[in-house]
Amino acid sequence: MSKNIKTEEKKRKRSKKKKRAKKDWKAFVYNCPYLLAVGVTSFAVMLYSDEIGFKSVVGNAQTVLAQVSGINIFTQDVPAEQMSDQAVQEGEELEIMDESESDRTDNAGGCKTEEGDIQNNDEYNRDDETKENQEKVDEKVKGITKYETYEPTDTDSRYYSDAGKVALTTEYPYSIENDSYFNDAAFLGDSRTLGISDYAGLDAADFYCDSGMTIFKLLEPDGVTYQKTGDKEDLSQVLQQKKYGKIYIMLGMNELGYGNTQMYFEKYREVVGQIREWQPEAVIYIMANLHVSEEKNNVETEFNNININDKNAASARLANGTDIFYLDANPLFTDEQGFLNEELTFDGVHLYAQHYDVWRQFLLEHAVEPTEQDNQS
């Protein structure tokens, strides 16, 4: 009897275990659709968001399962309330990431300004191009003074040496002007400048020049003759009181037998520097000394074209191509050997009156506006 009772109890226990197992299985099967949905959702999130790692996907799946069934199918044992809070937090992060990804997509090709506004890259690039072009426009147009070289010869003179080069007119995009260009011009020089004053027809310009004038005497208190009145004027006072737009300087012939080329250059540089201080807005033209004729060149010891070239090359060094320019009119009046054409001169040094008009035209074709230079400075 007792044996049968034990057997019955065993059967009841086995029956209870089967029922419990069947109940657990039914619960698992009942939650399968949720598990499947979670898996598909996690996989989709992994595909469309490279900013969500595998752990985040697993964490979301774990949280959803915990909320749906209360079953923890993962090895980590986390309370349901903590998992629920984690799900909310991760859900908010997911929304933020989605919004960030959307912003990046919508604003592709754009950049943020300091105020945080989105600026299109096309507009940004156009602004850069405009700025770059404007900088190019604002760049100075700078002239270049070049030299034509040759094999120098030995000289036995304490006044000069053979420079082995001839200074050329400063290369620059000059404008062509009419006689009104000289309305605010001053010419400073010696007897050749006096010839321009007398025969070139530049009546509007001021001429301060004398035969025998040198760079060493130009700014001395003894003064220089102002050709419009015939009176001596102290140029140091004139240039501080009257504003000029252009100043032409041609000196060096009377220095050929005085001092040496280095002294000439240093004094010329000092004079130009002083004039620049007094006339800060003026364009300064350094005019080359004209060569002499072959006859004059061969009979004179110091009065020759090698010495003239040496002085010209020295003064040309002062031309900076922005507001100081070197002008060489020699090619207009010299022959193939570089001598002053005998047909154009009465003494081998000075031109006949009728030829100064050629010089005038040369000056008109090599004009730089002071306002143009001011804009480039």
Residue that wins the pLDDT comparison between 252 and 117 = 252
Best CA proximity match to 309, nearest among 193, 147, 158: 147
| pLDDT score, position 250 | 98
| pLDDT score, position 264 | 98
Beta bridge partners of 21: none
Please determine, for residue 123, whether its predicted confidence score (pLDDT) is greater than 70.
no
Looking at residue 254, the DSSP 8-state letter turns out to be: G
328, two tokens? 């060489």
User: Which residues 6+ apart lie within 8 Å of 75 measured at CB?
Assistant: none
pLDDT band at 376 (very low <50, low <70, confident <90, very high): very low
| pLDDT score, position 357 | 97
Highest mean pLDDT among 58-62, 94-98, 192-196: 192-196
| pLDDT score, position 237 | 97
Q: How far does CA 369 lie from the centroid of its chain?
A: 22
Q: How far does CA 350 lie from the centroid of its chain?
A: 45
Q: Residue type at 120?
A: N
Q: What is the pLDDT of residues 132-188, one digit of tens each?
A: 554 544 456 899 999 999 999 999 899 999 999 999 999 999 999 999 999 999 999
| pLDDT score, position 98 | 47
* 326, 167 Cβ separation under 8 angstroms: yes
| pLDDT score, position 6 | 56
Least confident stretch, 13-22, 52-61, 326-335: 52-61
Measured in degrees and rounded to the nearest 5, phi and psi for residue 246 equal: -140, 140
- C-alpha 256/C-alpha 302 separation (Å) is 6
pLDDT band at 342 (very low <50, low <70, confident <90, very high): very high
- C-alpha 336/C-alpha 342 separation (Å) is 12
User: Which residues 6+ apart lie within 8 Å of 148 measured at CB?
Assistant: 165, 166, 168
| pLDDT score, position 204 | 96
Please determine, for residue 249, whether its predicted confidence score (pLDDT) is greater than 90.
yes
98, two tokens? 């989605």
1, two tokens? 């009897």
| pLDDT score, position 92 | 47
Residue that wins the pLDDT comparison between 43 and 267 = 267
Please determine, for residue 33, whether its predicted confidence score (pLDDT) is greater than 70.
no
- pLDDT (average), residues 228-257: 97
- pLDDT (average), residues 118-139: 51
- pLDDT (average), residues 17-28: 60
Residue that wins the pLDDT comparison between 266 and 124 = 266
Percent share of the chain, pLDDT over 90: 59
Angle between helices 261-278 and 305-316 (to 10 degrees): 40
- pLDDT (average), residues 221-250: 97
For 68, counting Cβ atoms within 10 Å of its Cβ (0-12 exposed, 13-18 middle, 19+ buried), the class is: middle
Least confident stretch, 83-97, 332-346, 347-361: 83-97
pLDDT band at 31 (very low <50, low <70, confident <90, very high): low
pLDDT band at 28 (very low <50, low <70, confident <90, very high): low
* 252, 309 Cβ separation under 8 angstroms: no
| pLDDT score, position 116 | 44
Q: What is the pLDDT of residues 282-304, one digit of tens each?
A: 999 999 999 999 999 998 889 99
Residue that wins the pLDDT comparison between 265 and 96 = 265
Q: What is the pLDDT of residues 191-223, one digit of tens each?
A: 999 999 999 999 999 999 999 999 999 999 999
| pLDDT score, position 179 | 96
Residue that wins the pLDDT comparison between 91 and 191 = 191
CB atoms within 10 A of CB 249: 23
- pLDDT (average), residues 23-31: 56
pLDDT band at 370 (very low <50, low <70, confident <90, very high): confident
pLDDT band at 234 (very low <50, low <70, confident <90, very high): very high
Domains detected in the chain: 2-110 (no CATH), 143-376 (3.40.50.1110)
Please determine, for residue 365, whether its predicted confidence score (pLDDT) is greater than 60.
yes
